[in-house]
Amino acid sequence: MPWTPSFRLIPESKQVHLLKYPGRKDWQTACNEAIDELLDLTRAKKVFPRLGKKRDEKFPIVGAKFDIGIERSAMSLFGIIGQGAHMTVYTRTSLGEMKFWIPRRNANKSTYPNMLDQAVAGGVAQGETPFECIVREAGEEAALDEEVVRRDVVAAGTVTWFNVSDEKAGGEVGLMNPGVLYVYDLEVGREVVFKPVDDDIQAFHLMSVDEVRDAMRNGEFKPSCAAVMMDFFVRHGFITAENEVDYVEIVSRLHRKLPFRISPGF
């Protein structure tokens, strides 16, 4: 990392500090500018070829004492907690069997190509609440009516997870990716049929509990989405202590304590 003069490194304790400079703008603005300058220099020097182009999409730095953001593509370089909102969409057959609307990502996606996904999922942007993220993504990804989502969606807690990026992740390999996923459920009628809205999705599939379970075991799901689906299965009694030998381990890992500050006070 080509650190600029705005940062001070303490190698022996593996710390990096943003410096305060007298006469600079307010501390919040100075921090945002310092991070932007660092990333601009990183791109100019082509230090991390997979960093990608600069995009006007900032995510909050979770745990900071004030509102400060960083480009989404750069979060993994710093090991910052990502925040996502995921909504599992399901329906019931005439016999009461639960089935899930599951999209498959396009094969040309730069991240997790051709893998199964959540019906609605996205990163919580700076200044956005998880619920508003779900409402926005539901319209963009699944053409769901905003009024229906606001009325019928059910908040179901969080999943905390820790992933190490691989080739499928699309960025630098071997980076730490801690995350907090805000989980939502939405039941829709049998008459509702999901179809791709944009080129990100190749098709939606209506899958049974057993089909989803098999797909998870075969590694077909994007990792974060698999974690959310497992949480749904636990909450609805499809994964239990009686049918899964690693039940306690699964449940504890879905709600693990991350070794990072999640809020300014914790």
Closest C-alpha among 177, 190, 193, 211 to residue 119: 193
| pLDDT of residue 240 exceeding 60 | yes
Residue 123 bridge partners (DSSP): 84
Q: Please compute the mean of the pLDDT values over residues 91-96 and round it to a whole number.
A: 95
The pLDDT score that the predictor gives to residue 80 is: 87
pTM of the prediction? 0.91
Phi first, then psi: give them for residue 9, nearest 5 degrees. -100, 140
**Beta-carbon contacts of residue 13 (< 8 Å; ≥ 6 apart):** none
Q: Domains in the chain, please, with CATH?
A: 7-78 (no CATH), 82-254 (3.90.79.10)
Give percent of the chain with pLDDT exceeding 90: 68
Q: Please compute the mean of the pLDDT values over residues 239-251 and round it to a whole number.
A: 96
Per-residue pLDDT of 124-168, as tens digits, reads 999 999 999 999 999 998 999 999 999 999 999 999 988 888 888
How far is it, in rounded angstroms, from Cα 144 to Cα 24?
46
| pLDDT of residue 266 exceeding 60 | no
Closest C-alpha among 86, 121, 89, 125 to residue 105: 121
